[in-house]
Every structure is written in C-alpha cells, then in structure tokens.
Amino acid sequence: MGEKKAYECHKCGRRVEIDADERGVPECCGALMTLVDRLPACGLSSTAEHSRSFEDEEPCDDGRGGNL
C-alpha cells in the first residue's frame, strides 16, 4: 500500500485521502482543500498536560487563588 495524503475542507470539515503520487488538490465547497499534517503515530505530546502524567501531584499555583 502506497503513501497517502489527507486533505480537509475548511468550510465543512470533510476529509479525503488520496495517493501521494497523484497530482492536484481536491476541491470541496467551491474551494481547494488544505493538506492535513499528520502526527507521528508513536510520538508523545510535549504539552504541559502530558509532561508529568506519571507523577501524582496537583497543578502549579498561578496566584489567582488569593492565598499568596
């Protein structure tokens, strides 16, 4: 099975996949669809929500509670 490229319509959200070797960009809702970047299947997110998932602790105090 060959590589695929995914495209998404920014108006209606429809997604299509085409073979990577096909030329041209599909159209939907009267406009060209945009190429969707794929994330690595085995990669981990580096955002704050996922960086300490193995530790059992509360979130940091950002000072909005008034108890400084």
pLDDT of 53 > 60? The answer is no
CATH 1.10.10 fits 1-38, yes or no: no
pLDDT of 46 > 80? The answer is no
Q: pTM of whole model > 0.85?
A: no
Cα–Cα distance between 24 and 27 in angstroms, integer? 9
Cα–Cα distance between 25 and 20 in angstroms, integer? 11
Q: How confident is the model at residue 39 (pLDDT cuts 50, 70, 90)?
A: low
pLDDT above 70 as % of the chain: 60
pLDDT of residue 27: 92
pLDDT of 54 > 70? The answer is no
pLDDT of 47 > 80? The answer is no
